[in-house]
Amino acid sequence: MKKLYSFGLHKTEVDEILGWLIESNYLNEERFAILFAGGKFRIKKWGRIKIRQALLQHRISNYNINTALNNIDELAYMKTLQRLASVKWQSLKTDTVLVKKMKTTRYLLQKGYERPLIVQTLSILAFP
Q: Is residue 92 domain-shared with residue 122, that is, in the same domain?
A: yes
Write down which residue in 70, 86, 102 finishes a domain. Answer: 70
Mean pLDDT of the chain: 92
pLDDT digit string, tens, across residues 71-125: 999 999 999 999 999 999 999 887 788 899 999 999 999 999 999 999 999 998 8
Q: Is residue 8 domain-shared with residue 50, that is, in the same domain?
A: yes
Quote the pLDDT of residue 26.
84
Domains: count for the chain? 2
Share of the chain above pLDDT 70, in %: 98
Query: Which of 119 and 21 is assigned the larger pLDDT?
Result: 119
Q: Is residue 54 domain-shared with residue 84, that is, in the same domain?
A: no
Alpha-helix residue ranges (DSSP H) falling in 62-96: 62-70, 74-91
Share of the chain above pLDDT 90, in %: 67
Write down which residue in 26, 44, 70 finishes a domain. Answer: 70
Q: Is residue 99 domain-shared with residue 60, that is, in the same domain?
A: no
Containing structural domain, residue 98: 74-126
Quote the pLDDT of residue 128.
61
Record the pTM. Answer: 0.84
Q: Is residue 26 domain-shared with residue 42, that is, in the same domain?
A: yes
